[in-house]
Amino acid sequence: MHPIRKQRLLIVLFVVLFSSAAVGLVVYAMRGNINLFYPPADVAAGKAPFEQPIRVGGMVREGSVQRSDDSLAVRFEITDFQASVPVVYEGILPDLFDEGQGAVASGRLNGDGVLVASEILAKHDENYMPPEVAEALEQSGYDHKGQPK
């Protein structure tokens, strides 16, 4: 074979090999590892799947946070003022997690409609509201700080 053509073949082979490996990996990784955001109203309406990774965000309902006495287990409700989703979590909560503040919980819904969270995200500073949460609140007629409009 002509050396230049052989070289081109080589290049094409490498590219095909690596990119098909990459596409395979991407497809495989995408199957289980992306999660979709649901406002609490959608969860209450049964639109969210059970036992699949999802995120739910809204305000932490006032008076809903209950801590265990002897472990780091905590239970609270996330609300968009239309519906509430109970969340259980065991671990350290972020610095700015508080009642009446915005938060996003990622985890899986169990059969009782409780979100078993593996991670809780709160805002990073006083003025920031997770954008999904702001939008979910907007839809139920509240501004991004959780005040009725």
Partner 1 sequence: MIPEIGHFALIIALCLALLLTGVPIWGAWRRNVAAMSLAPGLAVGMLVFVTISFACLATAFLQDDFSVKVVASNSNSLLPPIYKFSALWGNHEGSLLLWALILSVWTASVAMLSPQLPLLVLSRVLGVMGAVGVGFLSFSLLTSNPFERLLPGIPADGNDLNPLLQDPGLIIHPPLLYMGYVGFSVAFAFAIAALLGGRLDASWARWSRPWTNVAWAFLSLGIMLGSWWAYYELGWGGWWFWDPVENASFMPWLAGTALLHSLAATEKRGLFKSWTVLLAIFAFSLSLLGTFLVRSGVLTSVHAFATDPARGMFILVFLALVVGGSLTLYALRAPAVSSRVSFDWISRESLLLVNNVAFLVASLTVLFGTLFPLIMDALGAGKYSVGPPYFNAVFVPLMALLIPFMGIGPLSRWKRDSAARWRSELAIPAAAALLCGLTLPLLHAPYNPWVALAVLLGGWLVLGLARDIWWRVRGAASLRQGLRRLTPSYWGMVLAHVGFAACVIGVVATSQYSIEHDLKMGPGDSEALSGYEFRFKEVASVRGPNYVADEARFEVWQDGERVALLAPQKRRYLASGQVMTEAAIDAGLFRDLYVAMGEPIGDRGDWAMRLHYKPMVRWMWLGAIFMAVGGFTTVFDRRYRRQRSGARAATARGAQYAG
* Interaction site with partner 1 (CB under 8 A): 3-4, 6-7, 10-11, 14-15, 17-19, 21-22, 25-26, 28-30, 32-37, 55, 67, 69-72, 90-93, 95-96, 106, 124-126, 128, 131-132, 134-135
Nearer to partner 1, 39 or 146 (CB): 39
Measured from the CB of residue 91, what is the shortest distance to partner 1 in angstroms? 5
Look up residue 26 and give its amino acid. Answer: V
Burial 62-95 (b: 16+ CB within 10 A, else e): eebbeeeeeeeebebbbbbbbbbbebbbeeebee
Compute how many other C-beta atoms are within 10 angstroms of the C-beta atom of residue 57. 26
Q: Which residue has the tokens 């780091």?
A: 72
Nearer to partner 1, 70 or 112 (CB): 70
Nearer to partner 1, 23 or 112 (CB): 23
Measured from the CB of residue 132, what is the shortest distance to partner 1 in angstroms? 5
Measured from the CB of residue 71, what is the shortest distance to partner 1 in angstroms? 6
Burial 101-132 (b: 16+ CB within 10 A, else e): bbbbbbbbbeeeeebebeebbbbeeeeebbeb
Nearer to partner 1, 5 or 112 (CB): 5
Measured from the CB of residue 113, what is the shortest distance to partner 1 in angstroms? 21
The token pair at 71 is: 């472990």
